[in-house]
């Protein structure tokens, strides 16, 4: 029979000073995890009479310990695993002592179920890693230690189990502890506590064992009851993910959610991470009355001082310490489904309360969790860990996982099967577009052109201010539109009011202005449009840059060559007058040079040509080049 | 009167509220399974907290086997009324027609037809895509491995070997047409946590949980309350009055009472702390065989 232990039915108290400890037990198969948890439950008298009776019955039927009670049977719940003698799924156990409540995730040691180990690790504060004293570190032990470290657990107990079977050998214990410290050097643990135990016989579980006089540390339970879990969530910057917009009636608009980190009080300034909009916390509403403050972990409802456009998925944050907002980032992925990772394929990403489409743009390497080395890889299979670049369809707010587990973690969901395909931990955001590889497009430019019955092109109108570029371009567009040609106009003044409103008129800003317009025009040609761009664009190099962005004959440079004197004479916006008076700097033709095109596709605006004539000439060119069908009656319509 | 809630309970409370909000936000037609017991009382209280000042955005659904204690039905109607929530009651009429009852059919068949099949009918009838219940992982071994968001096939079946991994608080709520989700906000609570919380938050519970003089017969080692005339007395059985209470509440002929003097909540909790049996002992349906709960769950029992 098992050791006699004192059973104290009153061992649970109403209140415990220390916060709940969430821990997981892991280690190789047969190292005794389930037995350890069964022993803890038994010694804390949490096994009740009827359960004990069932346990004795089951021990005779499935037990591996002869006539003795097999504690593992207490926790191996599913019939399949009881028959196979292994734990196939994460089981959660609840132990409560006078000092502390514990939530224990009992995770499988079998290699094929590593994903469940990662699941158990994801919510835990501390890991108890079991090692068989006779076998020492195994591949599985190292793999589990690596996953524990990856999931951000900083505190580890190395429970060297079955110490009785080595005759309570001190040297063997010391060697395992030293081996582990050597391996864990590359990992991110704050504390490692090696404890020699026997889960079956109870040595160093609830109390110090007389069999290991050489061991000076605490018994396992003593250690777990007293360890400080770093609950520093409250000291980190505010993060509050909006879960549910609370709108009981027109006069109340609240945002329900849980404070992920930091604290907040009424009057605190907050920012909406995605939009950057600012407001202040008006009230912290709960059913028990408004609160004077809320802290990490509190589920509350906020109202704000201003009417902001806020929806589920938004993150409210400290304006002085905001999360990153990006559509590209690097992350570790723990692959969890039978279907392999397909880079480029669209998955759903659930991060916080937000779900967005995402794809892996580059698999950098696979992590060999036994050596922590980097392996070349084209895909990830079940239980493999990789480091990847990912891109979402819309920017999301996040923190690196190391800084915030709540805002740095995500899952990937297979869009076809709805399976949870992977767990992700964000390492850092990617700001440079060079880090991303372009998504292959399933529908090509030519396919879109085919349904539009015309070819895409960019008509680039260049010339001095007041030369008539926009007037001509407008006429061309109206005519094309009237005949069912899909067009879009990008005009200098309009673009500068929106996309490029951050740019001035310095040389560098003019270059950036044209570069952005070129990229936009390119995207629109991919959509199959004929894009009319009307910009002074004084420098040859930028016009060439846009030409080179586009395919072969898509770029049609149209030089509106109206002489400077005529432009000054027209001066439709009064700009030349101001420039000549020195009120506008860097004005093309006055104090900044205009470089006329050397080989434009077309020159218009000379010899008193009217705008209508110029437009007709342009449309004729498009037809000649086979971009559009011939339109015979255009000239008549446009004889203004 | 409310008592201070320990940090442990506060953490569990926040977690349950998060789960409920997540469910309300991500499903088209959620419902709360309301079974009138202490877990349902705690859940209803948590739901009111989670959505305040709004009312919880889902109805209460009770699958009535017609064999609940009369006090439970009265309590149910009052609780829904107090919460201002819609109460839907479903009875498996086909089962009634077939004459299924715990007395005539035995616990196993009665539970399958009136509870398991009744629940499926109700979910299909009102097209609920998610239903949350008060099951806890500490209740039974197979429950310990159930997910918080637990996927069910279009036939309401649970596949324990193919459960979705559940990481952090990132619940995968995606389902296909016809499939549904069972959600368990109290997964991480223990029986004692529920009682401590009910005491601290002053939550109303069915009076049957507290000791009182009630008519009982002793049968197969269990104390069965004679709640109405439908319980056929065996030869020689004479109901006698005893001071009893119930640890769990099911169908009255299937729920064993315990002798107790605990007429108040604190007294009852103190008694339970000293208790040496698990709560399911009072439920006769689990005794059929070890692993019986897992079998029921695969078929769709909550």
Task: Please check whether residue A8 lies inside any domain of the structure.
Answer: no
Pick the residue with more confidence: A262 or A74? A262
CATH of the domain at A384: 2.40.30.10
Q: Are residues A215 and A333 in the same domain?
A: no
A80-124 tens-digit pLDDT: 554 554 445 777 888 888 888 888 888 765 655 667 778 888 889
- Same domain? For A566 and A478 the reply is yes
Domain count for chain A, please give it. Answer: 4
In a domain, A390, yes or no: yes
Same domain, A221 and A242: no
Which residues of A are less than 8 Å from B278 in CB distance?
48, 50-51
Q: Among all chains, which residue has been given the structure tokens 């401590």?
A: B196
pLDDT tens across A314-366, in order? 999 999 999 998 889 999 999 998 888 887 777 899 999 999 988 888 899 99
Residues of A with active-site annotation: 537
Q: What percent of chain A has pLDDT over 70?
A: 85
In degrees, rounded to 5, the angle at the alpha carbon of residue A603 between the alpha carbons of residues A602 and A604 is 120
Give the number of beta-carbon pairs within 8 Å between A and B. 173
A481 and A362 in a common domain:
no
Asked whether residue A523 falls in the same domain as residue A615, the answer is yes
> Is the domain of A222 the same as that of A238?
no
Tokens of A505: 């008129």
pLDDT tens digit sequence for B196-232: 999 999 999 999 999 999 999 888 778 888 888 787 8
The answer to whether residues A276 and A329 belong to one domain is no
Distance in angstroms between the alpha carbons of the first and the last residue of chain A: 108
Q: Decide if A75 is inside a domain.
A: yes
Q: Is residue A573 part of a domain?
A: yes
Question: Residue A218 has what pLDDT?
Answer: 94
Domain identity same for A95 and A126:
yes
Q: Does pLDDT of B31 surpass 90?
A: yes
Contact B174 A348 (CB under 8 A): yes
Share of chain B above pLDDT 90, in %: 45
Out of B169, B190, B278, closest to residue A51 by CB: B278
- Interchain CB distance below 8 Å, B175 and A418: yes
Indicate if the alpha-carbon torsion angle A189, A192, A198, A203 is positive or negative. negative
Nearest to B18 among A122, A123, A258 (CB): A258
For B164, which of A15, A248, A419 is closest by C-beta distance? A419
Contact residues on chain B for A48, CB-CB shorter than 8 A: 275-278, 281
Query: Is A379 found in the same domain as A290?
Result: no
- Last residue of a domain, which of A174, A199, A226? A226
From the candidates B7, B82, B170, B171, which should be mutated to test the interface with A, based on the most A CB atoms within 10 A? B170
Closest CA to A628 of A480, A406, A440, A421: A480
What average pLDDT does the structure give for chain A? 83
Q: Is residue A270 part of a domain?
A: yes
Looking at A296, A317, A338, which one is the last position of a domain? A317
Contact A75 B144 (CB under 8 A): yes
Are A467 and A377 part of one and the same domain? no
In A407-436, the residues whose Cβ lies within 8 Å of chain B are 409-411, 413, 418-420, 423
pLDDT of residue A240: 97
Q: List the 81-100 stretch of A: residues with Cβ below 8 A of B.
A: 82, 88-94, 96
> The domain that contains A221 carries what CATH number?
3.40.50.300
A550-564: pLDDT as tens digits: 887 899 999 999 888
Its domain, for residue A553, covers 445-637
Of the residues A434, A457, A475, which one is the last residue of a structural domain?
A: A434
Residue B30 C-alpha, separation from nearest chain A C-alpha, in angstroms:
15
Task: Kindly state whether A51 is in contact with chain B, defined as any CB-CB distance less than 8 angstroms.
Answer: yes
On whether both A262 and A198 belong to a single domain, the answer is: no
The pLDDT value recorded for residue A46 is: 59
Listed in sequence order, the residues at least 6 apart from A479 whose beta carbon sits closer than 8 Å to its beta carbon are A615, A619, A631, A634, A637, A638
Asked if residue A280 has pLDDT above 50, the reply is yes
Average pLDDT, chain B: 85
| Chain segment A193-226, per-residue pLDDT in tens | 999 999 888 899 988 999 999 999 999 999 999 8
**Is A3 contained in some domain?**
no
Cβ neighbours for A268, distance < 8 A, ≥ 6 positions apart: A238, A280, A281
Q: Is residue A489 part of a domain?
A: yes
> Is A328 in the same domain as A427?
yes
| Chain B residues touching residue A20 (CB < 8 angstroms) | 7-8, 11
A616 within some domain: yes
A247 neighbourhood in chain B, CB within 8 Å: 54
Provide the pLDDT confidence category of residue A454 given band limits of 50, 70 and 90. confident
Contacts of B140 in chain A (CB under 8 A): 77
Strands (E), A107-186: 126-132, 155-161
Q: Cβ B51–A353 below 8 Å, yes or no? A: no
pLDDT at A640 over 60: no
């Amino acid at each position: 029979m098992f050791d006699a232990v004192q059973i104290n039915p009153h061992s649970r108290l109403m209140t415990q000073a220390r916060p709940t400890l969430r821990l997981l037990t892991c280690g190789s198969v047969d190292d005794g995890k389930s037995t350890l948890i069964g022993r803890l439950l038994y010694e804390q008298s949490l096994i009740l009479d009827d359960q004990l009776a069932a346990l004795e019955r089951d021990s005779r039927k499935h037990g591996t310990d002869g006539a003795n009670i097999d504690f593992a049977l207490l926790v191996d719940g599913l019939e399949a695993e009881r028959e196979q003698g292994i734990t196939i799924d994460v089981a959660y156990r609840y132990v409560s002592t006078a000092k502390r409540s514990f939530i224990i995730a009992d995770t499988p040691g079998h290699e094929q179920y590593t994903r469940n180990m990662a699941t158990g690790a994801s919510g835990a504060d501390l890991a108890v890693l079991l090692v068989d004293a006779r076998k020492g570190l195994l591949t599985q032990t190292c793999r589990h230690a690596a996953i524990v470290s990856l999931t951000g657990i900083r505190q580890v107990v190395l429970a060297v189990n079955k110490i009785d079977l080595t005759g309570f050998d001190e040297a063997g214990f010391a060697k395992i502890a030293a081996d582990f410290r050597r391996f864990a050097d590359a990992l991110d643990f704050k504390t490692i506590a090696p404890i020699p135990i026997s889960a079956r016989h109870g040595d160093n579980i609830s109390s110090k064992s007389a069999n290991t006089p050489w061991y000076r540390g605490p018994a396992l339970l003593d250690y777990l009851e007293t360890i400080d879990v770093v609950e520093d969530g409250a000291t980190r910057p505010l993060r509050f993910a909006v879960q549910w917009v609370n709108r009981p009636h027109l006069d109340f608009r609240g945002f329900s959610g849980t404070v992920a980190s930091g604290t907040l009080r009424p009057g605190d300034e907050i920012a909406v991470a995605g939009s950057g909009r600012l407001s202040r916390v008006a009230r912290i509403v709960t059913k028990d009355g408004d609160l004077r403050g809320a802290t990490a972990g509190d589920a509350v409802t906020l109202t704000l001082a201003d009417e902001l456009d806020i929806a589920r998925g938004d993150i409210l944050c400290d304006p002085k310490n905001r999360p990153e907002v990006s559509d590209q980032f690097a992350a570790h992925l723990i692959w969890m489904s039978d279907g392999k990772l397909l880079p480029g394929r669209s998955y759903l990403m659930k991060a916080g309360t937000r779900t967005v489409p995402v794809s892996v743009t580059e698999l950098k390497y696979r992590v060999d969790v036994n050596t922590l080395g980097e392996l070349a890889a084209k895909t990830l299979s079940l239980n493999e860990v990789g480091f990847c670049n990912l891109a979402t369809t819309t920017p999301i707010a996040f923190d690196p996982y190391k800084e915030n587990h709540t805002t740095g973690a995500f899952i990937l969901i297979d869009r076809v099967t709805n399976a949870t395909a992977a767990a992700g931990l964000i390492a850092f955001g990617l700001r440079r577009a060079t880090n991303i590889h372009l998504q292959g497009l399933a529908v090509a430019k030519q396919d879109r052109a085919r349904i539009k019955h015309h070819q895409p092109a960019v008509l680039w109108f260049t010339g001095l201010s007041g030369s008539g570029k926009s007037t001509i371009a407008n006429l061309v567009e109206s005519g094309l539109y009237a005949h069912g040609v899909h067009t879009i106009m990008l005009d200098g003044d309009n673009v500068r009011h929106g996309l490029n409103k951050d740019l001035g008129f310095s040389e560098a800003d003019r270059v950036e202005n044209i570069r952005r317009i070129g990229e936009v025009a390119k995207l629109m040609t991919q959509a199959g449009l004929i894009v009319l761009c009307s910009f002074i664009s004084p420098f040859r190099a930028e016009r060439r840059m846009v030409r080179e962005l586009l395919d072969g004959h898509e770029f049609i440079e149209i030089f509106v060559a109206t002489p400077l004197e005529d432009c000054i004479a027209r001066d439709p916006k009064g700009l030349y007058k101001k420039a000549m008076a020195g009120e506008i700097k860097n004005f093309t033709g006055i104090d900044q040079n205009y470089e006329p095109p050397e080989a434009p596709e077309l020159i218009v605006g000379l010899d008193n040509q009217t705008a209508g004539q110029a437009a007709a000439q342009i449309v004729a060119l498009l037809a000649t080049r086979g971009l559009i069908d011939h339109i015979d009656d255009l000239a008549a319509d446009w004889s203004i | 009167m409310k008592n201070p809630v320990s940090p442990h309970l506060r953490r569990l409370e926040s977690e349950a509220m998060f789960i409920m909000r997540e469910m309300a936000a991500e499903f088209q037609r959620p419902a709360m399974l309301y079974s009138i017991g202490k877990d349902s009382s705690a859940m209803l209280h948590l739901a009111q907290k989670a959505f305040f000042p709004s009312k919880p955005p889902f109805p209460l659904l009770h699958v009535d086997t017609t064999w609940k204690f009369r006090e439970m039905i009265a309590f149910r109607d009052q609780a829904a009324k107090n919460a201002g929530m819609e109460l839907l009651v479903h009875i498996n009429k086909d089962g009634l027609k077939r004459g299924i009852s715990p007395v005539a059919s035995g616990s196993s068949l009665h539970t399958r037809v009136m509870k398991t099949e009744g629940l499926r009918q109700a979910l299909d009838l009102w097209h609920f895509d998610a239903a949350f219940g008060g099951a806890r992982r500490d209740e039974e071994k197979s429950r310990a491995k159930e997910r918080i968001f637990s996927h069910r096939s279009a036939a309401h079946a649970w596949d324990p070997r193919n459960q979705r991994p559940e990481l952090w608080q990132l619940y995968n709520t995606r389902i296909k047409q016809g499939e549904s989700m069972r959600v368990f906000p109290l997964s991480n609570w223990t029986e004692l946590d529920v009682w401590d919380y009910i005491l601290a938050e002053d939550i109303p519970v069915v009076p049957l949980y507290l000791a009182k003089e009630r008519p009982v017969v002793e049968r197969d080692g269990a104390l069965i309350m004679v709640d109405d005339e439908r319980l056929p007395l065996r030869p020689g059985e004479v109901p006698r009055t005893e001071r009893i209470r119930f640890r769990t509440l099911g169908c009255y002929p299937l729920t064993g009472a315990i002798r107790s003097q605990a007429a108040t909540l604190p007294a009852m909790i103190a008694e339970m702390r000293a208790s040496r049996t698990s709560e399911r002992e009072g439920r006769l349906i689990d005794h059929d065989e070890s692993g019986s709960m897992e079998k029921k769950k695969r078929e769709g029992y909550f």
